[in-house]
A and B are shown apart, each in its own frame.
Chain A
């Protein structure tokens, strides 16, 4: 994979899980009629005894995964993001969070991925919901390299983890995988800059990168930070951005009221408040239509991000 290559995030995720399942006999995959759409058909083929199907039963599957984890299994459950978060939220909170069970929940086709399928299938509140759970780790990898890192970190961590991935193909944003420092509680400085910090997460990362490139051509220098782990938040990276640059833009496919921007603002409000521009989904149910159009409708295309930054800096 080299920078700019387009990769199917679901297939890549499934390939990473299947590769990491080697030597981890405790790893099992639970499907809510969702494995084929989550890139896990290869896992099912290779490890049929460790792949368990339950049908469209998301509440049940989360609780069942928690029960399996109490016996030493390492369950991975992947399905369409709202059906792994909003729908079975109480199971995630009680059975994984309160019970501290070692289950990896993957919300795929997250954010606005399902623009065409409409608000029932879009997931723009999952960061907010999952962040409220004590002990929960929340990843939103922004490119294929970050997906690999997030899955590795999730499996290495003993505790509940949520990973949001999208479904439209995403470009590799890193020149080299070594550049990516994503880990539990660690983000990445993708590129240095001196005028403003832009912190992006998940599928918003490549668009933020494109916006930063456009701004650079105009002489606006952006420090681009990828926050592929929303909880625990990389406080050092955020504080350094506030200290060094004094202005922060956040970009996310999530309600602005309660996602990455809110997490950054909450942290900085305590000790280093700086002006912020939070880009994301406003307080309404998004439109339905082709993904790129829905992203434009909420103002998250690169030219819209760049324009918001220009206004912010004026």
Chain B
């Protein structure tokens, strides 16, 4: 598989296109945080994680846990891009009884490792997976993608303490730090900054990076574990709704019910802004 940075850019664009396709089908969704983590997720799904789309329950696979379950469109887009599900399934998003609920259901789609949505569950689930895999002697790693607003959940910090206490070097936490949650800027709603220092104080080995600098994202993810006896944590500074210029950094696109004209504009701007080699 081509894991070059230009290819990852192409895949990140594809994931963003799929996110807009999903919202077109479902007419509403948590678009801002899905788009902000698209570059991180492209690197995970197309370069870093060991996975077999044709055998989604392969026991030695790496696990991807979407702790910020409201970024469900991101997960669905990545699963379609990587070949776990046919892309046509994306067009069922939002319909009654579809396999793509507003928050992911592990029993409905291959490649969904946990039924998340209630915040603060994914990281402790990932801790359990990492413990279970290590006890079973498997080399699999677990990647948990969190939101920055989610950092206010106490259960995140319970899991953070447990992971370092049990020296889970097979666990990687990623915080998609897009700076905005539903009520406003995260630092104003409930600040956990300096976030990287808090994680470090909990015993994790931490890197803070630009979550859209794909060469850096790739280098950082390929360097895990950062420490042989500690869990790894990446604080990825990102931009809400990244990829669609008129939506970027704007709170109103955390959850979006797009009027048709605005969606058409988003599709156009996504293509126009894409820095993708032909």
Contacts and interface: CB of A to CB of B under 8 A. Distances in A.
Contact of A63 (B105, B159, B165): B159
A95 interface: yes
Nearest 6 pairs between A and B by C-beta? A67-B128, A71-B132, A60-B158, A63-B124, A64-B128, A68-B132
A72 B136 contact: yes
Contacts, number: 95
A70 B128 contact: yes
B129 interface: yes
A64 B114 contact: no
A66 B162 CA distance: 15
A64 B124 contact: yes
Contacts of A100: 107
A210 interface: no
Contact of A98 (B115, B127, B166): B115
Contacts of B129: 67-68, 70-71
B126 to A, nearest CB: 6
Nearest to B144: A67
Interface of B: 105-107, 113-115, 117-118, 120-121, 124-133, 135-136, 138, 154-155, 158-159, 161-162, 165-166
A299 to B, nearest CB: 38
B132 A67 contact: yes
A227 interface: no
Contact of B159 (A55, A60, A68): A60
B135 A73 contact: yes
A70 to B, nearest CB: 6
A52 B135 CA distance: 11
B128 A66 contact: yes
Contacts of B124: 59-60, 63-64, 67, 91
Nearest to B154: A59
B121 A70 contact: no
Nearest to A94: B118
B162 A54 contact: yes
A55 B163 CA distance: 12
B106 A99 contact: yes
A52 B124 CA distance: 14
Interface string A70-102: 111101000000000000001100110011100
B139 to A, nearest CB: 13
B125 A64 contact: yes
A248 interface: no
A156 B13 CA distance: 48
A95 B117 CA distance: 11
B158 A59 contact: yes
Given A67-B127, A67-B132, 11 more contacts: A28-B135, A60-B155, A63-B125, A67-B124, A68-B131, A70-B125, A71-B133, A71-B138, A95-B114, A98-B105, A99-B114
A274 B154 CA distance: 47
B159 A90 contact: no
Contacts of A64: 124-125, 127-128, 131, 159, 162
Contact of B126 (A54, A67, A91): A67
A95 B158 contact: no
8 contacts: A60-B124, A60-B155, A60-B158, A64-B162, A68-B128, A70-B113, A73-B132, A91-B155
A240 interface: no
A65 interface: yes
A205 interface: no
A57 interface: yes
A54 B120 CA distance: 17
A69 interface: yes
Contacts of B133: 71
Query: Which of B118, B129, B132, B161 has the most chain A CB atoms closer than 10 A to its own CB?
Result: B132
Contacts of A98: 105, 115
